[in-house]
Chains A and B, each alone.
Chain A
Amino acid sequence: MSWIKSREFAIGLASAVMVYMFLEYFFVLPKAAADLTSGLKNLAVVISAFAFVLAALNITLIHGRRVTRKDKGWIYSACLLGMFAIMLLIGIPFGTAQSQYMWIQRNVYTPTSAAVWGIMGFYYVAACYSVFRVRNVDAFILFASGLIVVLNNAPAIAAFWPQINAIAGWIQDVPGTSGIRGCYITVGVGLVALAIRVMMLIEKQFFVGGE
Chain B
Amino acid sequence: MSEEKVETKSLIDKVLDLDPKVIFILLAIVLVVPTVRPIGFPIAVSPYTMDLYNYIENLEPGSLVLFWNNMGWGWWPAEYRPATIALTQYLIDNDIKFISVSGGPDDPLIWDHIVTNLLDLKGYAYGVDYLVLGYLPGLEAAKSSFATDIHALVKIDYMEGKPIDQFPIMDGVNDATSFDLVIEISSTPAEIIIRQFYTAYDTPVGLIGSAGMFSDFLPFYAANQIVGFTCGLRGGAEYEYLTNRPRWGIAALDCLSTSHILMVILICVSNALYLIKKWKVM
Report whether B267 and A147 are in contact in the complex, using a CB–CB cutoff of 8 Å.
yes
Q: Hey, what's the 0/1 contact readout for B132-154 against A, CB within 8 Å counting as 1?
A: 00001111011011001100110
Interface check B178, CB cutoff 8 A: no
> Within the complex, which residue of A38, A45, A114, A172 is in contact with B138, where a contact is CB–CB below 8 Å?
A45
Interface check B123, CB cutoff 8 A: no
Q: Hey, what's the 0/1 contact readout for A158-185 against B, CB within 8 Å counting as 1?
A: 1110100100000011001100110010
User: In the complex, what's the smallest C-beta–C-beta distance from B213 to chain A, in angstroms?
Assistant: 11
For chain B, what secondary structure do more than half of its interface residues adopt (helix, strand, loop), or is it mixed? helix
Q: Hey, what's the 0/1 contact readout for A100-142 against B, CB within 8 Å counting as 1?
A: 0010011001100110111001110110111011100000000
Interface check B276, CB cutoff 8 A: no
Q: Hey, what's the 0/1 contact readout for B104-143 against A, CB within 8 Å counting as 1?
A: 0110110011000000000000000000000011110110
Interface check A48, CB cutoff 8 A: yes
Report whether B263 and A125 are in contact in the complex, using a CB–CB cutoff of 8 Å.
yes
Report whether A116 and B74 are in contact in the complex, using a CB–CB cutoff of 8 Å.
yes
Interface check B78, CB cutoff 8 A: yes
Q: How far is the CA of A130 from the CA of B268 in the complex (A)?
A: 11
* Number of chain B residues close to chain A: CB under 8 A: 68
Q: How far is the CA of A122 from the CA of B20 in the complex (A)?
A: 9
User: In the complex, what's the smallest C-beta–C-beta distance from A101 to chain B, in angstroms?
Assistant: 8
Interface size class of A (residues with CB under 8 A): 35 or more
Which residues of B sit under 8 angstroms from A117, Cβ to Cβ? 74-75, 78
Interface check A206, CB cutoff 8 A: no
Which residues of A sit under 8 angstroms from B139, Cβ to Cβ? 48
Report whether B266 and A41 are in contact in the complex, using a CB–CB cutoff of 8 Å.
no
Which residues of A sit under 8 angstroms from B148, Cβ to Cβ? 34, 37-38, 41
Interface check A151, CB cutoff 8 A: yes
Interface positions of B from 222 to 276, Cβ below 8 Å from A? 222, 234, 237, 253-254, 256-257, 259-264, 266-268, 270-271, 274-275
Q: How far is the CA of A116 from the CA of B78 in the complex (A)?
A: 12
User: In the complex, what's the smallest C-beta–C-beta distance from B85 to chain A, in angstroms?
Assistant: 15
Q: How far is the CA of A118 from the CA of B261 in the complex (A)?
A: 18
Which residues of A sit under 8 angstroms from B266, Cβ to Cβ? 125, 128-129
Which residues of B sit under 8 angstroms from A173, Cβ to Cβ? 218, 222
Residue of B nearest to A161 (CB): B44
Starting from the known contacts A154-B260, A157-B260, 18 additional A-B residue pairs (CB-CB under 8 Å) come to A38-B148, A38-B152, A41-B145, A41-B153, A44-B141, A106-B113, A123-B20, A125-B259, A126-B20, A130-B16, A132-B267, A132-B271, A134-B274, A153-B211, A155-B237, A177-B218, A184-B191, A184-B219
Q: Which 6 A-B pairs have the closest CB atoms?
A: A113-B74, A154-B260, A44-B141, A156-B41, A41-B145, A156-B257
Give 26 CB contacts A-B under 8 Å. A38-B149, A38-B152, A41-B145, A41-B148, A44-B141, A48-B138, A49-B137, A110-B73, A110-B76, A116-B74, A117-B78, A122-B23, A126-B20, A126-B24, A132-B270, A132-B271, A133-B270, A134-B271, A143-B267, A147-B267, A150-B263, A153-B260, A154-B256, A157-B261, A181-B222, A184-B191
